Every structure is written in structure tokens, then in C-alpha cells.
Structure 1
Amino acid sequence: MRERIMETSLQQFLEHGIRKMTLQKLVLVLGISTKTMYKYFSNKEALLEECLGLHYKDTEKGMAEMLRDSPNPVAGLVSIYSKAIELDFGTTHLFYHDLNYYYPELQDKVMKKYVSSALETVTSLIQQGINEGYFLAYLKAPIVLESLTVMYASVTRNRTYKDFTLKRELIKHTIVIYLRGICTDKGLAIITQLKELSI
């Protein structure tokens, strides 16, 4: 029952956003009593925390598959940020908007717990790109990842951009410019081959 509540609630959060989905609405969708809901989760935030854990585990699996299919580190990094932008600004944008603006501390807590191996994977990908001559030799992979993370968060979490209608384009150009800036000529050739970047 606990797993069913989590899976169904996550789907509802992704589809309708977090703020709109109350425990009462979730109970109706699930066809269970409020008592049953409270047996497993003390409040909405406790439920959301478990749902986020489930979501980030699935996201990490998807990222691993994506990277397996990438022909080189540049394409891999572009794929990762393309997917992130699709999630943040695509059909699940309400979920990510609510998460970034109303639950950032909870998101950070869950990400710290579930995303550390994914961050290690991305750091390794960047290091591979440096070693293979796609990215500039003097770069430090953890600093590149931290820079990308800070830039991404500056758009998705900064209230300055809350009502900014071009957020998707802003993040796209910010990331593309940064990626071009860390590339060698070999890496730039890959970005040029990608032509219409999906990010």
C-alpha cells in the first residue's frame, strides 16, 4: 500500500504540480481513507520527500541509460542538460516550479541522499572529456560541475526569473555558451555537429 500511495502521488504531483495536490485530493484519487494515508505518511511533506526519492532514483537510471548511448562526453553532457530542461520547462514544469520555489530545502535534502552517485557519474564524464581532449586541459571536473549547477539553479530557483517568460531560452543559452567556453576545438566540432541543440 505504501508503494502504491507513493507511485500514485508522484504521478499526481508530476501531472498537477505539488501545491494543487492536497492530501485530501490524493486520498480521493487513491480511493483510500484519510486514516490509511496518515498510517503511512504524517503529512504532505513526508509523502513528498518519499516521492522525490522515488523520482530521483528513476531519473538516475534514465541518466545512466542516456550516457551509455552517448558517443562522447560532449554529447553526453548536452543530453543531460537537454533532459533537465525538458523536465523543468516541459510537461512537468508545474511540479518543478513548485519544487524549486516552495520546497528547495526538501529538494536539496533528497538530492543529497539520492543523486550523489549521479553527480559522481557526471564528474567522471567531464573528466573523461578533459582526458580525451574535448574539454580544456586545465579544467577541474568538480568545479565545472559546480559551475553548471550554480548557473542552472540561478534560473530555476531565483525569484527574479519567476515570471520571466523566456526562462527556457535563457537556460538554454546560458548552458550552451558555458559548454562552448569549456570546449577545445575538438569539443566545439562536436557541438557544431549537433547543430540544433535540443537544449
Structure 2
Amino acid sequence: MKEEILKKATQLFLNQGFKSITMDDIAREMGMSKKTVYTYYKNKEHIISESASYLFTSITGGIDIICSRKTNPIQELYDIKRFVLEHLNGERTSPMYQLQKYYPKIYQKMRQGQYDYMQSCVTDNLQRGIEQGLFISDINVQFVSRIYFTGMTGIKDEGIFPQSQFPATDLYEMYLEYHIRGIVTPKGRKILNKIIQSNHE
């Protein structure tokens, strides 16, 4: 029952935001009393913390599966982007922005986890891209991996990239193309252009 409540709460948070959803909403969606929800989670912050951890584990698990396929590094980045957007429901209500604003301690913990994971994942992607002749051989891998993380988290700032002007799907697409075009070789550019063309068909 505890995990079922967590899954439902996570879905609600993603659809409507961490701030908007109350314990009453979760109880109503589960068809149970609020008292029952409190049996498993002592307060809203507790369930938000568990939800953030659950979300992080689910997403990194899916990314691990994508990375284990060892497709070419450019295609891998697009596959990861697609998976994350589907998993976060396109972040229609910018849940991470709400988490940062209203629950900063939980956000910082999750952000650190994201950073540690992405450093490993992106570094491996960059090194394989260099080995396969798709990425420029003399790029500073540590610099590029950190810039990628900074940009990927930075574009979630609604103050700079309002959703009315930059829908989530378009924004991630633009940023990923921007990132890859800056480091590809002519060989890699051909693969990138083919993927972009295929996505637009």
C-alpha cells in the first residue's frame, strides 16, 4: 500500500506540481482517508522527499538500460531525452522548479544526486563519442560534461525560459542539438542531421 500511495502521489506531483497537491488530494485519489495516508507518511514533506527519491531511481534506472545498449553516443542522448520527457510528463507544471522554490533541501539533495549520476553517464558518452570519431578528440571532457549538466538544469528556470515561449519538448530538443553541434566531427554531424530529419518527419 505504501508504494501504491507513493506512485499515485508522484504522478500527481508531476501533473500538478509539488506545491499544488495536498495530502487530502492524495487520499482522495487513492480512495482512502487522510488518516490512512498519514499511517505511511508523517507529513507532506515526507512524501515529497520519498517521491523525489522514487522519481530519481526510476529515471536513472531507465537511463542505465538505454546506456547498456551501447548505441552510438548521439542516438543515445536523444533516446535518453525522449525517455526522461516521457517519464516527467513533459514537466508541464515545472515540478523541479516548484521543488526548488518550496522544498529547497529536498531539491538540493536531488540535484546533487543528478549531478553525480550525470557526470558518470555524460563522461562515458563523451569518451565513447571521441573513440568512435563522432566527437572532437581534443574537447575537455570534464568541462563539457559540467556545461551540459549546468545547461540541462538551467533551462528549467521558468523566469528565463517561460513555458509559453519555450514548451518543454522544444526546449530540450533545442538544447540537445546546441550541445551536440558544439562537439561533433563531420562524421558525427551526418548522424546528428539524420536524427533531426527523422524526428521532424
Q: Which residue pairs with 1:99 in the alignment?
A: 96
CA distance in 2, matches of 1:123, 1:56: 19
Distance 1:198-1:148 versus aligned 2 partners, 3 A rule: farther
Paired position in structure 2 for 1:20 = 20
**Aligned position for 2:42:** 42
Instruction: State yes or no: 1:192 paired with 2:189.
Output: no
Q: Write the distance in 1 (CA, Å) between the matches of 2:187 and 2:121.
A: 22
Query: Alpha-carbon deviation of 1:61?
Result: 1.7
CA gap 1:66/1:121 in 2 versus in 1, 3 angstroms: same
CA distance in 2, matches of 1:50, 1:191: 38
Q: Is the 2:73–2:125 contact (alpha carbons within 8 Å) kept by the matching residues of 1?
A: yes
Cα 1:136–1:112 change in 2 (3 A) is same
Cα root mean square deviation, aligned: 2.6
**What is the TM-score with the length of structure 1 in the denominator?**
0.82
Deviation at 1:131, TM superposition (A): 2.4
Q: Secondary structure at the match of 2:197?
A: coil
Query: What's the offset of the Cα at 1:118?
Result: 5.0
Which residue is equivalent to 1:65?
65
Q: Which amino acid aligns with 1:24?
A: D
**Which is worse superposed, 42-51 or 163-172?**
163-172
Match of 1:56 in 2: 56
* 1:182 CA displacement: 0.5
Structure 2: tracts of 5 or more residues without a match? none
1:194 CA displacement = 1.4
8 Å contact 2:59–2:84 — kept in the other structure?
no
- TM-score w.r.t. the length of structure 2 is 0.81
Question: Aligned-pair distance for 1:114?
Answer: 6.7
Q: How far does residue 167 in structure 1 lie from its aligned partner after superposition?
A: 4.0
Deviations 1:45-75 (A, max 9, x none): 2211101211121111211222334521111
Where does the alignment leave 5 or more consecutive residues of structure 1 unmatched?
A: none
Write the mapping of 1:17-166 to structure 2, written as runs, cut at 5 A. 17-69=17-69, 71-86=71-86, 90=90, 92-94=91-93, 97-100=94-97, 102-104=98-100, 105=104, 106-113=106-113, 116-117=116-117, 119-162=119-162, 164-166=164-166
CA spacing shift, 1:22–1:52, aligned 2, 3 Å: same
* Residue of structure 2 in register with 1:10 after alignment: 10
Task: Work out the CA distance in 2 between the residues paired with 1:114 and 1:137.
Answer: 26
The residue type equivalent to 1:121 in the other structure is C
